[in-house]
């Protein structure tokens, strides 16, 4: 009977030792899982930060594109105004040339006498 109790005690001690080893293994695995989850969370936060930076950059690019578009419209208006002024200058030059031709034709009807001579 003592032998049976000793054998049973050895079995219980062996089972407890096995249980302790399994608990230790489970604890190590739980710690490793926790570390893995922490690493995943850090990476998620890094990706979220990058996404935020990308969104901010995209917003800034949109603002810049809008400003460029507005400036381009302003340049277009200035160029149109300059073209209109150039056309007006060209029209005025043509009118001035026509007036000069008319004046030349009118002047050709007059004759100049040499100094000291009179016609009369």
Q: How far apart are the first and last CA of the chain?
A: 175
Each residue's pLDDT, cut to its tens digit, for the chain (120 residues) gives 887 887 788 787 788 888 889 899 999 999 999 999 999 999 999 999 999 999 999 999 999 999 999 999 999 999 999 999 999 999 999 999 999 999 999 888 887 778 777 765
Predicted pLDDT of residue 120: 52
Residue with tokens 């710690």: 31
Helix (H/G/I), strand (E/B), else coil: 41: helix
Predicted pLDDT of residue 119: 63
CA-to-CA distance for 73 and 118, rounded, in angstroms?
Answer: 68
Domain positions in the chain are: 1-74
> Is the pTM value of this prediction over 0.75?
no
Whether 113 contacts 119, CB under 8 Å? yes
Predicted pLDDT of residue 72: 97
């Amino acid at each position: 009977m003592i032998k049976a109790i000793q054998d049973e005690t050895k079995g219980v001690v062996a089972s407890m030792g096995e249980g302790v080893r399994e608990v230790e293994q489970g604890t190590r695995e739980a710690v490793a899982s926790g570390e893995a989850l922490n690493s995943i969370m850090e990476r998620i936060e890094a990706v979220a930060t990058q996404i935020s930076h990308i969104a901010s950059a995209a917003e800034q690019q949109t603002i810049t594109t809008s400003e460029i578009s507005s400036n381009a419209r302003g340049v277009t208006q200035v160029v149109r105004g300059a073209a209109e002024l150039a056309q007006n200058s060209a029209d005025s030059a043509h009118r001035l040339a026509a007036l000069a031709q008319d004046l030349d034709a009118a002047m050709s009807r007059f004759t100049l006498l040499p100094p000291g001579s009179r016609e009369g």
